[in-house]
Amino acid sequence: MKLYENKKKLKQKLNSSKTIFIMAHKELDLDALGSSIGLYTILENLNKNCFLVIDDTIHESGVSKVFKELEGCLNIINSKEIEENFYIRKKKNLLIILDVNKKELVQSSDAIDLFDKESIVILDHHELGETSIEAGLRVIDNDISSTCEIITNLVEMYKMELDPYYATLLLSGIVLDTNNFTLKTNSETYYAAYYLSSMGASTKKVQYLLKQDLKEYIERQKVITNVDIINNKIAIAKGSPYMIYRREDIAKIADTLLFFNDIEASFVIARSASKTIAISARSLGSYNISSILNPLGGGGNKTVGAARINDSTISKVEAKLKQILKKEEE
Ligand SMILES: [Mn+2]
């Protein structure tokens, strides 16, 4: 496990810092927020001065519930307030980036420039890419279920007791990113869940935090009904051309399509901004998603990937994708 290999270096970084800023990706989800708050608790126990840097102004429902419940308990600032909270000796400030490693996806890319490379640590489970942020320490573990699992391991490493509420938050990130322990789940994931539950994490509460919005659920189901099956193995689903979908929803639909008999790869094409078409794709391993999405300007790895195409339409993107898939089958 990557965290254990870097244990010494990470402890060193934390020990030598006084003020620590925690920042996750835009459009916070429960893995980003759960891991941020979990880390925040660890750092408070280590007597660090801690800040969560959040620029998002709208939050998905689970994230809003947590903010409401924890109102007044956390130092939350926006990226413009970082400098005024710096510790006097600049070297004693540390930025920890969670659940993301690409510059364009963090809450504030400008915030990165306030720190020198050595004062940045990344803890994440996503693939590295061209725009990955340079850091003094990068603990990036593609095989781990979630950033909340990394933070759970960190809690164990420091032999700390967590309040049941914070244990629940960490568990909710694991449940979210594994889609209820169906994706990226191995014995270590179950061990982390066991560990959190032994500290009092509540599955009932996790279910409450992850409750979905019925309307959004129905919209996702509509996309699934608009599916084409190619060669009995590949599912291509399309969103309504008149609707803008959140990237995470497009990804969830792609995940769901893999649950059906015979489907080995899934592609979901939908509008993610007024002039942007997004594709989210998944495979069980027999199709290489990154090589299929490369010609469309996308990326990822063998089993997970995404692409964003500007100034195009759903049907154009669909035609291009089908062409690529046809070549792939030859
Ligand atoms: Mn995550």
User: Ligand 1 centroid to 231 CA: how many Å?
Assistant: 32
User: What local confidence, expressed as pLDDT, does residue 214 receive?
Assistant: 87
Q: Give the span between the Cα atoms of 177 and 158, in whole angstroms.
A: 24
Q: What is the pLDDT of residues 110-139, one digit of tens each?
A: 999 999 999 999 999 998 988 999 999 999
Report whether 206 contacts 172 (CB < 8 A).
Answer: yes
Class of 215-329 in CATH: alpha beta
User: Ligand 1 centroid to 192 CA: how many Å?
Assistant: 15
User: Ligand 1 centroid to 238 CA: how many Å?
Assistant: 25
Q: Give the span between the Cα atoms of 262 and 237, in whole angstroms.
A: 16
User: Ligand 1 centroid to 154 CA: how many Å?
Assistant: 16
User: What local confidence, expressed as pLDDT, does residue 63 receive?
Assistant: 96
Q: What is the pLDDT of residues 164-210, one digit of tens each?
A: 999 999 999 999 999 899 888 999 999 999 999 999 999 999 999 99
What lies within 8 Å, CB to CB, of 187 at 6+ separation is: none
User: Ligand 1 centroid to 32 CA: how many Å?
Assistant: 6
Q: Give the span between the Cα atoms of 237 and 260, in whole angstroms.
A: 13
User: Ligand 1 centroid to 147 CA: how many Å?
Assistant: 5
Tokens linked to 222: 């509509």
pTM over 0.85: yes
Q: Do the domains 215-329 and 2-160 match in fold?
A: no
Q: Give the span between the Cα atoms of 243 and 32, in whole angstroms.
A: 26
Cα four-point dihedral sign 26, 29, 35, 38: positive
Concatenated DSSP letters of 283-305? ESSSS-HHHHHGGGT-EE-SSEE
At position 83, the amino acid (one-letter code) is E
User: What local confidence, expressed as pLDDT, does residue 160 receive?
Assistant: 95
**How remote is the C-alpha of 329 from its chain's centroid?**
32
Tokens linked to 50: 């801690």
User: Ligand 1 centroid to 316 CA: how many Å?
Assistant: 31
- Domain spanning 2-160, CATH architecture: Alpha-Beta Complex (3.90)
Q: E strands of 78-181, at which residues?
A: 93-98, 120-124, 137-140
User: Ligand 1 centroid to 173 CA: how many Å?
Assistant: 7
User: What local confidence, expressed as pLDDT, does residue 215 receive?
Assistant: 87
Q: Residue-wise pLDDT tens for the chain (330 aa)?
A: 689 999 999 999 999 999 999 999 999 999 999 999 999 999 999 999 999 999 999 998 999 999 999 999 999 999 999 999 999 999 999 999 999 999 999 999 999 999 999 999 999 999 898 899 999 999 999 999 999 999 999 999 999 999 999 999 999 999 999 989 988 899 999 999 999 999 999 999 999 999 988 888 899 999 999 999 999 999 999 999 999 998 889 999 999 999 999 999 999 999 999 999 999 999 999 999 999 999 999 988 899 999 999 999 999 999 999 999 998 877
User: Ligand 1 centroid to 144 CA: how many Å?
Assistant: 10
Concatenated DSSP letters of 183-207? SS--HHHHHHHHHHHHTT--HHHHH
Tokens linked to 257: 């399509």
Listed by start position, the domains of the chain span 2-160, 215-329
User: What local confidence, expressed as pLDDT, does residue 110 receive?
Assistant: 97
User: Ligand 1 centroid to 119 CA: how many Å?
Assistant: 23
At position 222, the amino acid (one-letter code) is K
User: Ligand 1 centroid to 28 CA: how many Å?
Assistant: 10
